[in-house]
Structure 1
């Protein structure tokens, strides 16, 4: 039977490129479409996720601390291949349930970033499973969740701006409360990994899809595209520096050093996004049409 609450979240998620309000406002969600364990019927469920620093993302089968595993988990055990929507992209993935030792390590990291996971585990006698979702490689650019390339570009850019704003907000809150060490490091790690993976996917999609298309249609754009490719490499270097700073023991995280790296990344990424919009949006938008998304 369809779940009215989930149906509302799914509709809002798809209408707003992954952002929802109400109970899940501010949460990091994916839509998982799994095949029913008994029937094979597709079922779509909104699920919170935890970034893992690589291609895979992690989902935790908490069910709010219920005594039984959620249906989507049973579906993935029976049929590990699924479809994932993250607000920007839709892709096929392979689910792998983590073995106990790795599960415990990942779950501990998740608790550092959000103590609510510990509260869920305390409510139930079952060991809450953690599932890794591995994207299945495919040829060509990823499938975008937008009505046009111009809209997708603006939506993606605004997501990255939002992630940077979250990081800056966390630093501000930490300064007010005096928070340092483990909690700040864990929070930054989540946002950094989300931003890193999102930018990697976006830049890969551009270099496989939008850039060749525009180069073919607008040969005079070649210098701008070369500049954008070089900026992709520079931003990847800055992201790797930030990733390394957050990869150490959270207790040893130096907020001052990380803040300096965040400020440098913010400055260069915002300049890149703005230049790209100035150069590409007019060429991706049909004459007389609006790109459809504002900042």
Structure 2
């Protein structure tokens, strides 16, 4: 296996620090939202290092749409893995509770709006995917090591768009 480029190694090291965990949640989502808006959904700043998407899910308590930019791990079959790391902070990120309550959601992926269904991965399935996640982005191991909760993993798969109502003549 080839070594990661120096820039990637530096970002991996920095993203594993507690300072990054404290500052990143305040800065990265705002920057990603702005770039996503300016590029009409085609790009986000954080995608310079990791693939990313914007997840829109209904709030667990309010039912209102909540949009959040997230890193993801695309899978060969066209699905996506979302990692609820919360930058290694103690609590689960709110978007994970939203998906547990309302698994039907939408994503913006490379300028395309896609309806998806989320599945929480558990047991053996989670273990297999977690090992792939750690190869994909090793800092997730650091995040998991400093918290007691198990980081939630979700698989997003495409779902059919509801057909528009048919109008009778």
> Is TM-score (shorter-chain normalized) higher than 0.5?
yes
Residue 24 of structure 1, CA deviation: 5.5
Aligned match of 2:130: 107
- Is the 2:86–2:92 contact (alpha carbons within 8 Å) kept by the matching residues of 1? yes
1:1-295 pair list within 5 angstroms: 5=27, 6-16=29-39, 17-21=41-45, 25-138=48-161
Q: Greater strand percent: which structure?
A: 2
- Is the 2:84–2:92 contact (alpha carbons within 8 Å) kept by the matching residues of 1? yes
Q: Secondary structure at the match of 1:82?
A: strand
Aligned match of 1:202: none
User: CA separation in 1, counterparts of 2:34 and 2:67?
Assistant: 11
User: CA separation in 2, counterparts of 1:90 and 1:69?
Assistant: 26
Q: Secondary structure at the match of 1:11?
A: helix
Aligned match of 1:214: none
User: CA separation in 2, counterparts of 1:66 and 1:43?
Assistant: 21
Q: Secondary structure at the match of 1:30?
A: strand
Q: Secondary structure at the match of 2:44?
A: coil
User: CA separation in 1, counterparts of 2:62 and 2:88?
Assistant: 26
Residue ranges of structure 1 left out of the alignment (5+ in a row): 141-295
Distance 1:110-1:82 versus aligned 2 partners, 3 A rule: same
**Alignment RMSD (CA, Å):** 2.1
Q: Greater helix percent: which structure?
A: 1
Q: Secondary structure at the match of 1:39?
A: coil
Q: Secondary structure at the match of 1:110?
A: helix
Residue ranges of structure 2 left out of the alignment (5+ in a row): 1-24, 164-169
- Is the 1:32–1:83 contact (alpha carbons within 8 Å) kept by the matching residues of 2? yes
TM-score (norm 2): 0.73
Paired residues, number: 137
| Greater C-alpha Rg | 1
- Is the 2:56–2:66 contact (alpha carbons within 8 Å) kept by the matching residues of 1? yes
Q: Per-residue CA shift, 1:236-256, capped at 9, x if unaligned? A: xxxxxxxxxxxxxxxxxxxxx
TM-score (norm 1): 0.43
Residue 104 of structure 1, CA deviation: 1.2
Which protein has greater RCO, CA pairs closer than 8 Å, 6+ apart? 2
- Is the 2:51–2:74 contact (alpha carbons within 8 Å) kept by the matching residues of 1? no
Q: Per-residue CA shift, 1:18-44, capped at 9, x if unaligned? A: 4333x6633211100111111111111
User: CA separation in 2, counterparts of 1:104 and 1:139?
Assistant: 33
Distance 1:18-1:62 versus aligned 2 partners, 3 A rule: farther
| Structure 1 runs, 4 residues or longer, greater than 2 Å off | 3-8, 14-21, 23-27, 137-140
User: CA separation in 2, counterparts of 1:40 and 1:139?
Assistant: 19
User: CA separation in 2, counterparts of 1:63 and 1:75?
Assistant: 14
User: CA separation in 2, counterparts of 1:118 and 1:80?
Assistant: 26
